[in-house]
Amino acid sequence: MTNTALTANPVLRVPPARPADAAAYFRASLAFHADVSDVAAALAAGGDPGFVVVDSRSTESWDQGHIPGAIHLPTALIPEQAGQLLDRSVPVVTYCWGPGCNGATRAALALAELGYQVKEMLGGFEYWAREGFEAETWQGSERRPADPLTAPVDSDNCGC
């Protein structure tokens, strides 16, 4: 391709990173993020998953549905309540509503600033529900049908 063709191409206008730089970036990304399927698989394996899940949404959202076993800790309350609810030696996975919300990112930042090891769950509760995983509500447990566009064909993993 010529330079003119490259600059006209919106994907290649900025060339891809060198492979070593790309590997470092993606390795770092995995240190900061977990996806819904991986969190669900770790929780379903039984025993201690080695992390705690924190729902950073409002009480109203929590009541509509949340990940079983999650701790409810709205982002605004993290500075005053995290020390009472969380052990600094246990990694935390935060989530909020979904990809269009940065509440889990803000919660992860607040926890990291307090000295917690933290990852953000990509997809949030929206994708937890869309993938058909069990949720707890004030009325008990429920499982919604999986959205075929988001749920893995193999219920144990997405194959990636």
User: On the CB side of 159, how many CA atoms lie within 13 Å of its CA?
Assistant: 6
For the segment(s) 34-136+143-151, the CATH number from 3.40.710.10, 3.30.70.580, 3.40.250.10, 3.90.580.10 is 3.40.250.10
Alpha-carbon span 91 to 78, nearest angstrom: 15
Neighbour order of strands in the sheet with 92-95: 33-35, 118-122, 92-95, 52-55, 71-72
Q: How confident is the model at residue 145 (pLDDT cuts 50, 70, 90)?
A: confident
pLDDT digits (tens, 9 = 90+) for 7-23: 788 888 899 999 999 99
**For residue 139, what pLDDT is reported?**
87
Q: What is the model's pTM?
A: 0.88
Six-digit token string for 151: 């749920």
pLDDT of 38 = 96
Contact 67, 108 (CB under 8 A): no
